[in-house]
C-alpha cells in the first residue's frame, strides 16, 4: 500500500442514508476542509483530490462500516481527526477511526447486510417460512442489470449464512414516525458477495417478486453491518 494514504472508517445512518455517492464525495471534501485537512490533488486542467470510497452504497441503505482512502497534502493528526471530521460533517455521518491501510479495496469479498422487511399489520401467512425456504434454495434466479443489459443470474452461490427472524419490540427498526407500529417486521441478516459480482439489497428483494408465496414486503430498509475478505475476516 501507498504509505501516503490514510483510511477512514465511518458510518452513514439516519437522513444521511439518502445522500448519493457523488454528493457524499462532495460532502467529505467539505468535511476535510472544515477539519483543517489539506488534501493532495491531481495535476492537469481538472485537478481532483485523491480520495475514494470502497463499495459505494445504494441510496437509502445505511452503513456502520464505510471505508474511504485519502491522501493528505501534509501532516495529519490521525488521533484527533475522527472528532474533528465528525463535527464538520452532517448529522448521520460519523468518522469512527483513521489509520494506515494495509490492504487494497480489491481484497473485499463479502459484506453483511441487516434488513427490516415491512409487511401489513399482520404480515402474509407463512412469510417467515417462505422467506427461509426461498433463500435456502440452491437456485435463486433473478434478472440482474449489467453493462450489457439485463440477464438472468443465479444468486444462490452469492449468499451465505442467511437468517430470518421476528425482532423483539424494543429492537424494531425506527422509521422516525409513529406508523412503524402498524407494520409487521421480518429481519434478514445475510452475507452476500461484495464484488465481481456485487449483490445489492435490490437484488435480494427482486428474488421475492412473482410467485414466491406473497413474501415480497411493502418496503424494506437495509444497513451494511460489516465487510470481509475472501476468508471471512473483517476487512480494514
> Average pLDDT in the 75-101 region?
90
- For residue 157, pLDDT over 50 is answered with yes
Q: Is residue 233 part of a domain?
A: no
175 — pLDDT class (breaks 50, 70, 90):
very low
pLDDT at 176: 42
Shared-domain flag, residues 21 and 44: yes
183 — pLDDT class (breaks 50, 70, 90):
confident
| Nearest C-alpha neighbor of 156 from the set 132, 137, 128, 183 | 137
Dihedral, CA of residue 185, residue 191, residue 196 and residue 198, to nearest 10: 10
pLDDT more than 90, % of the chain: 55
| Nearest C-alpha neighbor of 133 from the set 162, 154, 111 | 162
* Mean pLDDT for the chain overall: 87
Q: Is residue 235 part of a domain?
A: no
pLDDT at 70: 94
Here the CATH number for the domain that contains residue 127 is 3.30.70
Are the CB atoms for 217 and 117 separated by under 8 Å? yes
Q: Which structural domain range is residue 27 located in?
A: 6-102
Shared-domain flag, residues 143 and 83: no
> Average pLDDT in the 43-65 region?
92
**Beta strand residue intervals within 54-109, DSSP E:** 62-70, 93-99
- For residue 134, pLDDT over 50 is answered with yes
Phi-psi region of 123 (alpha: psi -120 to 50; beta: other; left: phi over 0): left
As a whole number of angstroms, the distance between CA 157 and CA 1 comes to: 31
Kindly report which listed range (47-56, 64-73, 122-131, 170-179) carries the lowest average pLDDT score. 170-179
pLDDT at 87: 94
Shared-domain flag, residues 89 and 113: no
Provide the 10 A C-beta neighbour count for residue 214. Answer: 14
Q: Which of residues 44, 75, 102 is at a domain's end? A: 102
Cell of 71: 491522501
pLDDT at 218: 87
Shared-domain flag, residues 186 and 202: yes
> Average pLDDT in the 203-229 region?
84
Say how many domains are in the chain: 2
pLDDT at 31: 94
Shared-domain flag, residues 157 and 181: yes
Residue 31 Cα distances to 65, 110, 122, 234, angstroms = 18, 29, 44, 27
Amino acid at each position: 500500500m501507498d504509505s501516503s494514504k490514510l483510511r477512514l472508517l465511518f458510518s452513514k445512518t439516519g437522513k444521511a442514508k439518502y445522500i448519493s455517492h457523488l454528493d457524499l464525495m462532495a460532502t467529505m471534501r467539505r468535511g476535510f476542509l472544515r477539519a483543517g485537512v489539506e488534501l493532495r490533488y491531481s495535476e492537469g486542467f481538472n485537478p481532483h483530490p485523491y480520495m475514494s470510497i470502497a463499495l459505494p452504497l445504494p441510496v437509502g441503505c445505511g452503513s456502520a462500516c464505510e471505508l474511504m482512502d485519502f491522501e493528505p497534502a501534509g501532516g495529519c493528526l490521525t488521533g484527533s481527526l475522527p472528532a474533528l471530521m465528525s463535527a464538520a460533517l452532517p448529522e448521520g455521518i460519523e468518522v469512527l477511526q483513521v489509520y494506515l491501510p494495509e490492504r487494497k479495496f480489491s481484497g473485499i469479498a463479502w459484506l453483511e447486510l441487516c434488513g427490516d422487511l415491512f409487511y401489513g399489520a399482520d404480515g402474509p401467512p407463512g412469510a417467515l417460512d417462505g422467506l427461509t425456504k426461498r433463500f435456502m434454495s440452491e437456485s435463486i434466479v433473478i434478472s440482474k442489470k449489467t453493462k450489457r443489459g439485463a440477464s438472468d443470474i443465479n444468486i444462490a452461490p452469492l449468499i451465505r449464512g442467511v437468517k430470518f427472524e421476528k425482532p423483539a419490540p424494543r429492537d424494531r427498526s425506527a422509521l422516525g414516525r409513529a406508523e412503524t407500529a402498524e407494520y409487521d417486521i421480518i429481519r434478514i441478516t445475510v452475507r452476500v458477495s461484495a464484488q465481481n459480482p456485487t449483490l445489492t439489497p435490490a437484488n435480494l428483494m427482486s428474488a421475492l417478486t412473482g410467485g414466491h408465496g406473497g413474501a415480497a414486503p411493502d418496503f424494506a430498509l437495509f444497513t451494511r453491518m460489516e465487510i470481509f475478505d475472501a476468508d471471512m475476516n473483517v476487512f480494514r
